[in-house]
Structure 1
Amino acid sequence: MKRTLLILLVICSAFIGSIVGAMMTIRYLGDQPSYTSIEQRQNLKAVNYLTDSSTRFSGAVNFEHAAKSVTPAVVHIRTVFGLGSFSLNALDSYMNPHAQSSGSGVIISDDGYIVTNHHVIEDATSIEVVMNNNQRYFAKLIGKDPSTDLALLKIKARNLPFVKYGNSDTLTLGEWVLAIGNPFDLNSTVTAGIISARARNIGILRDKNNLQIESFIQTDAAVNPGNSGGALVNLKGELIGINSAIATSTGAYAGYSFAIPVSLVKKIMDDLLEYGEVQRGLLGIQINDVDAQLADEEKLDVVQGVFVRAVNKGSAAEVSGIAAGDVITAINGHAVSGVSEMQEWVARNRPGQAIEVTYRRSNTDHHVQAVLKKYDGTVQMKKPEVDYLLEGARFEDISYSRLTQLNLDGGVLLKNVDEGKWKKAGAKENFIITHIDKAPIDNVADLNRILELKKGGVLIEGLHENGEKGVFAIEW
C-alpha cells in the first residue's frame, strides 16, 4: 500500500513539474515570434470578418461592419523627441520639455505587432501606443524603412484585436473604402471615400540611394495630420493600405489622400520581422516613364511602360539580357504602365528571387527571368549577428527559470563593465536591464536591435543584484 502511494506521489509530482515547466517556458518564449510572416500568423487566428468574398454589396452601402471591426485595432501613437543629454531631474524636463508628435498605427497580429509610417516615429526617443480603450503601452521599434515610409513596432500584449490583410491588387476605381485614424488627436475617427487612382507617385519620399518607392493608392477619404500610419480598409474590414500623405497647400485635407498598398506593406513587415531591415531585390537599371514625347524621341511603338536608360554592370538586368533602350511592359505577367507600378512589383521580391520581365525591343516582346540582387550586387540575406559586448560592457541572456524567480517577463544581465559608455554612466555589474526608454527588453538580441536605433540620451531601468529597482541614463 505504501509502495503504491509512493509511486502515485512520484507520478503526480512529475506531472505537476512538467506543467509548471511548460508554463515557465511559454512565459519566457512567449514574446519571441516563432513565425517569419505576419500573414501566416493572421491565418492561424480567428477574426470576425464577413464570409462573402465580394467587396461589393447590393442595395445601400453599409460601412458599419468595417468600422466596428477595425476601429479597436487602430491605435494612437505618441512620440517624444529629444537629442542630447538625458536628465533624471524632473525640473530639467519641465524647464526644457522634449518635442512631441502623434500619429496612428494598425495592429496586424494578436501578439502586438503594429505597422505605422516611418515619419511618425522617425528620431523618436520614446514611443507610446494608446489603444482604442485608452490602455497604454510603450513600444519598441523592430525595424524601419524610409524608402517606403514604413516601420514595425512591438508592444508586450496578448490576444489583441488586429486587422487582417486584404488584397490591394484587386482594387477598382470607384470602390468604397474607409480611412481610420487619429487626426488632430481625435481618437478613432472614421471617414469614407472611394478609390480615385492607383500607383500614384507624388514625389514626397527621399532615399540616399534613390531607392524610394511611391506607388500610392489615391482616395478622397478625408485624411488629416494625425492620420498617418492609420488604416485604409475595404468594406469587409480588410487592410488594403496604410494612410501616409495628403495633397494640400495648407497642411490640412484638401480632397485627396494617399496610402501605401498592403501588397507592399506585407513584404516590408515580414522583412523587418525576420531581418530587422528591408531586403530589397533590384534589377539594377536606370529608368523613366514612357509617354508620347519619349516615344517620339526614341521611336518607340508603345506609349506606356518603363524605358530603360541604362543598365548597371553585373546587375540582374544585364545578366538576364535586358539592355538600354528596352521598354519593360510587365513584371511576372502583370502589366506595368510606368515606373511606380514596376517598382512596386519588383519590390515585393527579395534578393535571390527570380522574376519574369517582359520587355519590347525592335517592336517585339521578349520574356526573361531575372534573379534580383542587393544594392551591393550580392544575393545573400543575413540576419543580424547578436553582439554580447557593447561599448565596454558584456551582456548575457537570463534563463527563464531565473526570470520566473525574479517575477520578470524578460531582461538582460549586465555581466561585466569595463571602460566605456556603460561605466561612464555608472552602470554596475550584475544589473538586470528590463526596460530601455520605457520599452521592455527580452534578451540580448532585443537589446542590440533597440540600441542600434537609439541616439542621444537613453533611459535604462532594471534591477540591482540585491533585487532593488534601479535607473540610470546613458549617452548613446
Structure 2
Amino acid sequence: MRRLLLGGMFVLVSALARPALAGWVYQLNSDDSLSWRIADHALKLHSDNTSGITVTKVGTAPVWGLHEGDVIVAVDDHSLKHVSELMNWLRTSKPATVVLHVRRAGAPLALSVTAAEYGQVISPIPPTPPEPQPPPPTIDSGRYTYEHTTDDSLSWRNTDHALQLTSSKATGITVTKVVPESLWGLQDGDVITAADGTPLKNVSELMDRFRASRPAAVKLQLRRGGSSVDITVAAVDYADLISPALP
C-alpha cells in the first residue's frame, strides 16, 4: 500500500512538472509504464513485476542502444521490477554513467548510458518558444488599406486598385483578388511560382524580392489554368505595394 501511495504521488508530480508540448511527449502513466518522445527519438517501457522492464518501442533514432523486445533486468547491478525504479535510479545517479543489464533474445547484454543520454528522458527540456513578433503594420485611411498579416497573406487596396495574395508550401502564392484585372497583368486564380527565376514559397518572399530589386523591374513566373505565363512588373507599379504612402 505504501508503494502504491508513493507511486501515485510520483505520477502526480510528474504530470504537473512536465506539461505536454508540441513535438515533445513525456508521460509516466504508472510505476510500470513510461512513454517518451522528442523528434525522431522515442521510448516506451512496460513492467509487470515479474520479468523486468520490457522495451515495447524505440523510435527511428537510437535510444541508449536499446532494441524493441529488450528486457532491462538491472541497472548498476541493482535489480529492477518497475519502470519507476529505473527512473528513480537514473535521477539519483546523475551525472554519472550507468550500466543497464539487458536480456536480448535470451542473451545477457550490458549497455553503458551517459548522463547526457538519459538526461532528457528523466527530465526533458521543452523546446524554446519563439520570440513574440510585433503586430503587422496596418494602414487604413478610409480610401487606402494595406495589411501584411502573416508570411502567407497580404491584402492591399487603394481607391481604384486591390490585390489579395495567399500562399502555402503546396500551392505557391495564389492571387485571390485583383482589381482591375489589368493590375500587373494578373488575374484571379493565378499562382505566382517565381520572381526573376527564383522560386517563391510564400508572400513575404515575394515582398522581399520587390524590395531588393527596386528600382528594377521584376519578372514574375505564373501558372494560369495549367499554362506558364511570364509578366514584367515595373518598379513604379509595385512601389506602393511594398512601401505604401498615405494619400
Which protein, 1 or 2, shows the higher relative CO under an 8 Å CA cutoff with sep ≥ 6?
1
Q: What TM-score do you get using the length of structure 1 for normalisation? A: 0.19
If each structure's strand is expressed as a fraction of its own residues, which one has the higher value?
A: 2
Q: What TM-score do you get using the length of structure 2 for normalisation? A: 0.34
Flag the structure with larger Rg: 2
